[in-house]
Amino acid sequence: MAASTVTSKGRTTVPAQVRAALHVEPGTRLEWHVTPDGDVIVRAKTLSTLDLAGAVKTGKHVDIEDMNP
């Protein structure tokens, strides 16, 4: 089990083994979710759908009519 301490400013260091397991790098955004039972789920958010815009470049335009059989 990994542990960290919260500073007076509300900051903490994510333990190295947790960073490795989540593939966290500098700039990675962490999302914190508190369940009704009081459990905390932390997810590393590396990409959003907006980050993927323009990722695939085909070089040609295809009309909808050309896609239909």
- Distances from the Cα of 25 to the Cα of 1, 8, 13, 45, angstroms: 21, 24, 13, 11
Per-residue pLDDT band for 64 (boundaries 50, 70, 90) equals confident
Q: What is the pLDDT of residue 57?
A: 73
Enter the tokens of residue 47: 């990409």
pLDDT band at 62 (very low <50, low <70, confident <90, very high): confident
Q: Quick one: pLDDT at residue 60? A: 76
Distances (CA, A) of 6 to 3, 12, 14: 10, 5, 10
pLDDT digits (tens, 9 = 90+) for 11-50: 999 999 999 998 888 888 899 999 999 999 998 887 666 7
Q: Which pLDDT score is estimated for 38?
A: 95
